[in-house]
Amino acid sequence: MISLLELTKTYGRGADAVIVLDRLNFEVGTGEIFAVTGPSGAGKSTLAQCINLLERPTSGSVVVNGEDLSSLPEKRLRAARRRIGTVFQSASLLSRRTASENIALPLEYLGVTPGEIRARVGELIDRVGLGPKAHSYPFQLSGGQAQRVGIARALALRPSILLADEATSGLDPDTTSSVVELLKQLRTDLDLTVVFITHEMDTVRQIADSVARLERGRIVETGRLVDLLTDHGSPLGRALQPRRGFAAADDGAATWYVTYDSTDVPGDWIQRVSADLAVPVHLLGASVETVHGINTGSATLGIAAASDDAVRAVLARYGLSGTPDVRREPGPGGAPVSPVRSGAVPALEGAA
Amino acid sequence: MSAVGVSSVPIGSIYVPRADVPVAELPALLLPAYGETVLMVGVVMVVVLAVGTPLGLLLHNVAPGGLFERPALHAVLGWLISVGRSLPFLILMASIVPFTRFITGTNIGIAAAVVPMSLAGIAFFTRIVENALRSVPPSIVRVARASGGSNLQIMRSAQFGEAVPAVLGGLTIQVIAMIEYSAIAGTIGAGGIGYVAVTYGYQRFDNTVMLATILILVATVAFVQVAGDRLVRWVTPQKRLQRA
């Protein structure tokens, strides 16, 4: 278990001081995966460096299993770092050491005997599924394999806390998924407390139990992933929904953006909404998935006729929340999609 | 006047043509000299490696962003090294004669040449090591710190370990520069192949010796370069394994 108490980090002094982290508080229980997300410059990497004790907080503390680590003197701080394993972005492996030798690094630093190092490294390399690559050099590994080495290295000293600092950034989606699966499995097998720092919302949906959003050094929103995803009033919940392009609605039909707003939306809700409204409902785009056993997602619909209020009421009946006219919703490239009603394909325009 | 001058002054009194050293005698002249050069450069390189490597690590890590920042120490060290680097070797050698005499008790010969060569070489190599360390990504050092390494462990395995190919590349340049310095040191009677080139080839116009020393030096430098390149390849897994 790890908790942050009023963690503050400032750089500089006096009038020039910049507050990078502003009184952060959160607690991650044993076996929990806690994601911290936020835009570039929000303070994510500083937070990571405070959690793994590479940086000392200006005030406040990092408490691991009841012990305040951030106030330890320099010598004991080094020992304390060993209780927190860190998986870095792009693995950062030593280029002149093999995969095994990289994993052995923290053990060598600790002064473990060569025999014990061999045994432990063998165990770790099997656990991350890299047995055949044990004697490969980093340049011979794919991004995903290198990251597995990074994970094994982080686990070498049997830490109770695992910090992943943009650990999947820069990996392709399939590799990200496999790394995420590995982390989830390790969390279960080793009862790890995982702090997962990333800017990738898709990865957060795959891995997190709870999420916090960091903005300008402050936690602006936090909650359980499932709660956030099913709460249309939550900006973080909306940010977590995947954004895709969608097709144009027919002439005369309004475009509706609909999100799952409860945990018990029926699977055939489109037919039911159509029947209740007595008009055809066109599916223009959708992304639905199961997160922690709950169906969540969003859909873009073309609905002709009926009043907006009637549509809202019917949607609410099935645990959905809808907003008409999606001109403010970004397309796949993140750019706003112009409200095209016919002819052109908005999804493509949004991407261009 | 011109006719009288030409006839009355024997050519030999102005220019005495001397026989070049016969080729058969070249080995007897050049081999001991070559041995002296190797000895001089070898001793200097041992001193340079022993002092320059830790000094380079120190300079890199007392700098802002290093493992133990000491801005004042960094400024002083950097300034000292820059002074050492900025003096032409001939001038450095001449200017520290009292120091050399204090250390070795003499100011001629191999022992006397080793002192200024080591000083210049240490300044040179410290910069080479510093430069090589700078090319190691900071993320590697973060990994090493997060892995619980002490400063000494981090410097050895992460910083220096990763910089080894660059250091060896720089070392090759350094050895070649030291061979050059040894030739300059020849002018204070340090011996070595440079001394032979100066006394026989230059002062006595012995073209045979001059040509021979040039060939030897070119071959030596080429050998050092090839050996250095091989070494760099051998310590860089990517180059070593992809070639095969």
> Mind listing the pLDDT tens digit for each residue in B135-181?
999 999 999 999 999 999 999 999 999 999 999 999 999 999 999 89
SS3 per-residue string spanning chain B: CHHHHHHHCCHHHHCCCCCCCCHHHHHHHHHHHHHHHHHHHHHHHHHHHHHHHHHHHHHHHHCCCCCCCCHHHHHHHHHHHHHHHHCCHHHHHHHCHHHHHHHHCCCCCHHHHHHHHHHHHHHHHHHHHHHHHHCCCHHHHHHHHHCCCCHHHHHHHHHHHHHHHHHHHHHHHHHHHHHHHHHHHHHHCCCCHHHHHHHHHHCCCCHHHHHHHHHHHHHHHHHHHHHHHHHHHHHCHHHHHHHC
User: Same structural domain for residues A147 and A215?
Assistant: yes
Q: Which chain A residues are Cβ-neighbours of B142 within 8 angstroms?
A: 49, 54, 88, 92
CA distance A18 to chain B (A): 19
CATH of the domain at A300: 3.30.70.260
Q: How many domains does chain A have?
A: 2
> Same structural domain for residues A131 and A158?
yes
**Residues A176, A315 share a domain:** no
Which residues of chain B are within 8 Å of residue A106 when distances are taken between CB atoms?
147-149
Q: Concatenated DSSP letters for A207-245?
A: H-SEEEEEETTEEEEEEEHHHHHT-TT-HHHHHHS----
A213 and A264 fall within a common domain: no
Q: Is residue A195 part of a domain?
A: yes
A182 and A245 assigned to the same domain? no
Q: Tell me the β-bridge partners of A288.
A: A297
Answer yes or no: do A263 and A207 share one domain: no
Last residue of a domain, one of A224, A252, A284: A224
Dihedrals phi, psi of B191, to nearest 5 degrees: 80, -170
Quick one: pLDDT at residue B81? 93
CB contact under 8 A, A54 and B142: yes
Min CA distance, B37 vs chain A (Å)? 34
Domain ranges of chain B: 32-243
Chain B contact probe: residue of A69, A92, A102 with most B CBs at under 10 A: A92
Minimum-distance CB partner of B143 among A78, A92, A139: A92
Q: What is the pLDDT at residue A348? A: 38
* Alpha-carbon gap, residue A84 to A64, rounded angstroms: 9
> Span B195-205, mean pLDDT?
84
Question: Do A26 and A99 fall within a single domain?
Answer: yes
Task: From A197, A224, A251, give the residue that closes a domain.
Answer: A224
Residue of B nearest to A75 (CA): B150
B234 to chain A: nearest residue by CA? A96
Q: What is the ipTM of this complex?
A: 0.82
Is A81 within 8 Å of B236 when comparing Cβ atoms? Answer: no
**pLDDT given for residue A113 in this prediction:** 95
Note the pLDDT of residue A341. 37
Partner residue facing A96 (CB), from B143, B149, B235: B235
Do A219 and A250 fall into the same domain? no
How buried is A18 (Cβ within 10 angstroms: 0-12 exposed, 13-18 middle, 19+ buried)? exposed
Q: Are residues A42 and A157 in the same domain?
A: yes
Residue A182 neighbours by CB distance under 10 Å? 18
pLDDT score, position B244:
53
Q: Is B241 on the interface with A (CB under 8 A)?
A: yes
Residues from chain A that touch B238, judged by Cβ atoms under 8 A, are 95, 137, 139
Q: Is B162–A96 a contact, with Cβ atoms under 8 angstroms apart?
A: yes
A172 and A289 share a domain? no
In three-state secondary structure terms, A171 is coil
Residue A342: predicted pLDDT: 37
Percent of chain B with pLDDT over 90: 58
Domain boundaries, position A137: 2-224
- From the first residue on, what is the mean pLDDT of each consecutive set of 10 residues in chain A (352 residues)? 92 85 92 93 91 90 89 85 90 92 96 95 93 93 94 94 91 92 93 94 92 92 89 84 81 85 87 89 88 86 82 89 64 42 37 36
- Touching A: B residues 122-161, CB under 8 Å: 137, 139-140, 142-150, 153, 157-158, 161
State which of A260-264, A337-341, B4-8, B220-224 shows the largest mean pLDDT.
B220-224
- What is the rounded end-to-end Cα distance, in angstroms, of chain A? 46
Per CB-CB distance under 8 Å, the chain B contacts of A108 are 153, 157
Which tens digit of pLDDT belongs to each residue from B36-66?
999 999 999 999 999 999 999 999 999 998 9
What pLDDT is recorded for position B17?
Answer: 56
Q: Which residue of chain B has the CA closest to A162? A: B146
Q: Using an 8 Å Cβ cutoff, are B106 and B191 in contact?
A: no
| Residue type present at position B217 | L
Closest CA to A38 of A233, A207, A239, A206: A239
Q: Cα–chain-centroid distance for residue A177?
A: 12
Claim to verify: residue A37 and residue A160 sit in the same structural domain: yes
CATH for the stretch B32-243: 1.10.3720.10
β A294-304/A253-260 pair status: antiparallel
Interface with chain B: mutation pick from A105, A153, A161, A165, highest number of B CBs within 10 Å:
A105
Assess contact for A240 and A204: CB atoms under 8 A.
Answer: yes
User: Does B13 score more than 90 pLDDT?
Assistant: no
Asked, for residue A231, whether it belongs to a domain, the answer is no
Residue at token pair 């760099």: B232
Strand partners, A11: A18
B97-110 as b/e: b if 16+ CB within 10 A: eeebeeebeebeeb
| Domain annotation covers residue A229 | no
Are residues A185 and A68 both part of a single domain? yes
End-of-domain residue from the set A224, A259, A288:
A224
